[in-house]
Each structure stands twice: as C-alpha cells, then as structure tokens.
Amino acid sequence: MEARRHPRALEGVEPIYEGAEAYLYPVTWAGRRALAKWRPPKEYRHPAIDAEIRRARTIAEVRGTLHALEAGVNAPAIYYVDVDDCIIFMEFIEGVLLREYIDEHGASTRVLELAREAGRQTALMHSRGLVHGDLTTSNMMVTGSGKLYIIDYGLSGHAKTEREKAIDVHLFKRSLESTHPEYLEPLYNAFLKGYAEEAGEEAARRLDHLVEEIRMMGRYVEERRRRKP
C-alpha cells in the first residue's frame, strides 16, 4: 500500500466506494451524516499537472452543484470544500441509483414518474445554461421517500449552444439503451414529457430533434469506421 493513501482529513475512515476518479467516504459534518468525495492523485500524470486537473475538476463539481441547486434541481448540499486536497464534503443522500431502481421495478408507473421528474429537473438545469456532462441513470438517486436527485457534477459546464443540452439528453437516452433497452421508449418518452412541462413543448421537440441528429451522426461515424480496410 502506498504511503498516506488517504488525506489527513479522512485518515481512519474507510471508503464506501472507490471509483476511477474519486473515493467516497461516510463522515459526520456539524453533527450531520455527510459524504466526503476525494479525488486521489494519479501516478501516471506529472504531479503538477495532476494537481491542477484534480483541483479544476473539484471546483467544477462544486460550481455545477451550486448552480443546479440555485436552479431548483434536487442536488446534494455542499458543506465544505478543501481545494488543496481535492475533497468535497456534501449532503449524504440515502437511496439507490435510478439504474438499480429500474432493475427492480421495470417500467412501472412509479418508474415512469421518476423518468418524468428526471426530465423536468434536467430542463430546470438547462434553463440556467447548465449542462451536467454525464447525465445517466447511474448519476441519479431515488430516496426512500421517492425523491429523485441528480448527482455528480464533475463534468458539468455552461452550455453555449442548444446542441450541448441535447448531448446531455443523448447521454441519458444512451444510458437507458445500454442498461434497459426493453424500457427505452416509455422511459425516454416520460423524460421528454417532464422536460416539456418545464421548458415547453416546442423546446422539448427541438431538443429531441437534436438528440436524433447526434445519434444519427454517431451511427454514421461508426459505420465509416467499420468500413475502413
């Protein structure tokens, strides 16, 4: 084991999740159950470059989360940020991933309601010019009370074009296609219905048209790649 694997603020705490980009730790903050998200150093990168990348992504995630909250999106509250050690202390959301919820309940009435709510919250985000950057069913959580949260804003940014918003929705649709293809049509239609409730029918139609353009372009590029000798 490498020396000082965890930063001092998290010494003695075991992570509950170790991903490629970040570790998650259960902690207590001001008497409340909280979650600490730490971006560990990457040995394959030059230390100075690595530190800058991790700091930038930490700041981007905090900024994106705060902008989402300001827009009225259900997102985890931010308690504290240690920019030097790249740690975010945030609200602990008790629940399951939407992907797991669909695994268990299929395209039930409740799941369709959640997909609709996901669309509505995405429209709220987009109304402020915020794009998530990784909008999938693995970055949405359902609490025990049935509340839907959109989490993990590490790849979020400001949308300069409508196409960037469509890329968000394309990612959501593709996540359904890859994990629950049998429920793709009803869940995606429910998502668009929720989006239209917040942004309007015309905006939802334009968005869906752009999503289809992006999907067709992806298929075209893939077909060209396959035809290469």
> What is the per-residue pLDDT across 7-32, written as a single tens digit (0 to 9) for each?
888 888 999 999 888 999 999 999 99
- Choose among 89, 90, 76: nearest CA to 9: 89
Beta bridge partners of 10: none
Comma-separated ranges of CATH 1.10.510.10 domains in the chain: 95-227
Is the domain covering 95-227 a CATH 1.10.510.10 domain? yes
Q: Other C-beta atoms within 10 Å of 42: how many?
A: 14
**Structural tokens at position 30:** 């001001």
Q: Which of 85, 103, 134, 208 is catalytic?
A: 134
Confidence grade of residue 64 (pLDDT, cut at 50, 70, 90): very high
85 classed as catalytic: no
Confidence (pLDDT) at 227 = 53
* pLDDT of residue 223 exceeding 90: no
Q: How far apart are CA 28 and CA 34, in angstroms?
A: 5
pTM: 0.89
Mean pLDDT of the region 214-220: 72
CATH 3.30.200.20 domain position(s) in the chain: 8-91
Distance from C-alpha of 10 to C-alpha of 67, rounded to nearest angstrom? 27
CATH number given to 8-91? 3.30.200.20
- pLDDT (0 to 100) of residue 7: 82
How far apart CA 192 and CA 177 sit, in angstroms, is 15
